[in-house]
Structure 1
Amino acid sequence: MEHSSVPAESSKNVERAQRILDVAADLLLRWGYKRVTIDDIARHAGVGKGTIYLHWKTRDSLFETVILREMIAIYRAILRRMYADTTEILPHRLLRSSLLITEGNPIIKALLTRDIEAVGKLIQSNANSEIRNREELALRKYFSLLYRHGLTAVDINQPEHLYALEMLTTSFTMIDPYIVSGQQLSLEQKAEVLTRIIRQTFEPSTPPSPTALQEVAPAAIQLFEQLCLDFEQKIRTQTEM
């Protein structure tokens, strides 16, 4: 009977920590990074301030976990598309999905657009840099996998190719305020433009066969699954305390 209380207590801690993260994310969006305090989060989550510090040592570490959780949500959404359709492992489909999903995630979009009012110094936090580095490593492995199987026309690990890819994907998130003509496209239109450019620039002219995609898809999916699992484990160590 004594042992049975441990899982129950752990589950209670996880539920409480998730509620704290939900509140922190909501207040971050509503008030902005500079205005939200631990006291605010504790009050809205219905817990004591000391309870929050059981999971996170600082306010920034709490918000960094919020960001990590949002990144996991994005990659899980991308993975669901990959499981449903193997063509989603191709760069033009992956980056199209990434743009569409990210645009629907205000916290991650604020990071990518460097919205200081919304996310403050979290843009340059060590934890955020670690997330981006691990993402980049996974993407490099992903493109190397596709290149070895003839599914990309260029080796993305070459500096100029990586630069071009990052420039393209970043510009479609950040460029609207800088358009001189004032011409704006809908999100779907932007996604289609990005799709065409990525396909023409980074992929072979001949589309791959369904058989080729089925052969590569499990390994490509596993790369992003592992990225999610690593991020989820990091959160688990905090929320189960």
Structure 2
Amino acid sequence: MPKAEVRNTDRADRILDAAAELMLRLGYRKVTIEDVARQAGIGKGTVYLHWRSKETLFRALLHRASIALTEQILERLETSPEEIRPHRFLRTAFVITMRDPILHAMLLRDTEVLGDLRDSLTGSLESVVNERYFALMAERGFLLDMPHLSYAVSASMLGHYLIDRFDPSVPSDLELRGEIVAHTVRASFEPAEGPDRATVVSTATEISTMLRDLLAHYRERIYSHDPTREHG
């Protein structure tokens, strides 16, 4: 990557860091481009060199949070195809999401944090990939053949994400809670004997390809207004 492009990418990330801090503190509705520029220590015009509006800036911020989640899941899959199994896959996603307040707000569609950005999450490419993952899990025997499977799994997982809002006795150790998620999914939704090794490997490869495509999509959306790309 040329040095100029590296500098612009680094500056874009600095702007996104500032936007993230402000959104979590004030909420999307109250943050202005002027606030972001001040927080990042740059001029307002510099922000507009990268993103043409407040909405495109903060959409890029959500994409960057999704990159962090996707990269970590992909890294685990590349280390072990067994990580594709739902109880392991969902455990990993749970722990990563709970550690990142922006990902957590996205998952819960938190209006206080996200404001109108909440609506942009519906029908996103990430949702399509998520649906494809669960379809493959059901088709290839990773999950039980049961009515309304997607709803059942989603309802169970949402409980794990929300429980600490209602029960102060929930363990603070996220790794422990992740293991509880894994046990719940395995005991409730997976067959006693899952797919063979060949199916595990081929499915992990297919999902990994989808995740890499998703990463490319996110990166393009984040840096699509990079000055280097627009003028070079």
Q: Under TM normalisation by the shorter chain, which class is it?
A: 0.7 to 0.9
CA contact (8 A) 2:87 2:182 kept: yes
How do 1:6-155 and structure 2 match up within 5 A? Answer: 7-124=2-119, 126=120, 128-131=121-124, 134-154=125-145
1:162 is matched with 150
1:19 touches 1:45 (CA, 8 Å); kept in 2?
yes
Q: How far, CA to CA, are the matches of 2:78 and 2:107 in structure 1? A: 26
Q: Deviations over 1:50-82 (max 9, x none)?
A: 221222222122111101100111111111111
Aligned length: 227
Shift of 1:233: 1.9
* Residue 183 of structure 2, aligned match among 188, 196, 205: 196
Can you give the 5+ residue segments of structure 1 that lack an aligned partner in the other structure? 1-5
Q: For the Cα contact (< 8 Å) 1:23–1:45, is it kept in 2?
A: yes
Q: Kindly indicate whether the alpha-carbon contact (under 8 Å) linking 2:18 and 2:40 is maintained by their aligned counterparts in 1.
A: yes
What is the alpha-carbon distance in structure 2 between the residues aligned to residue 34 and residue 149 of structure 1? Answer: 44
Could you tell me how far 1:31 is from its partner in structure 2?
3.7
Deviation digits for residues 190-212 of structure 1 (CA, Å, limit 9, x no counterpart): 32222122112322211444444
Instruction: Using structure 2 for the length normalisation, give the TM-score.
Output: 0.85
Q: Deviations over 1:150-206 (max 9, x none)?
A: 322237xx7x21211221122211133234xx5423333432222122112322211
Q: Is the 8 A contact 1:75 1:228 kept in 2?
A: yes
Give unpaired runs (5+ residues) of structure 2.
Answer: none
Contact in 1 for aligned 2:22/2:31 (Cα 8 Å): yes
**Gap change, CA 1:176 and 1:45, over 3 Å in 2:** closer
Provide the secondary structure at the position in 2 that maps to 1:238: coil
Deviations 1:93-123 (A, max 9, x none): 1100000000111111123334444333322
Q: Whose RCO is larger (CA < 8 A, sep 6+)?
A: 2
Q: Do the aligned residues in 2 keep the contact of 1:89 with 1:217 (CA within 8 Å)? A: yes
Whichever residue aligns with residue 177 of structure 2, its letter is: K
TM-superposed deviation, 1:7: 4.2
For 2:23 and 2:98, the matched residues in 1 are separated by: 17
- Cα contact 2:87–2:183 (8 A) shared by 1: yes
Aligned equivalent of 1:223: 210
What RMSD over aligned residues (CA atoms) do the two structures have, in Å?
A: 2.4
| Distance of 1:225 and 1:78 partners within structure 2 | 11
Identity of aligned residues (%): 34
